[in-house]
Amino acid sequence: MEQKGPAVVRARARGGRGSVAPRDEVRR
């Protein structure tokens, strides 16, 4: 699952609430 990296940046740019934004933020 290497899409978590870019997915977090996209979710954060969208509004900080994406599919893996909250989960990745806690993991990061």
Question: What is the 3 state secondary structure string of the chain?
Answer: CCCHHHHHHHHHHHCCCCCCHHHHHHHC
pLDDT for position 11: 58
pLDDT for position 14: 59
Using one digit for the tens of pLDDT, what is the confidence trace for 1-28?
555 666 666 655 555 555 555 665 555 5
pLDDT for position 27: 57
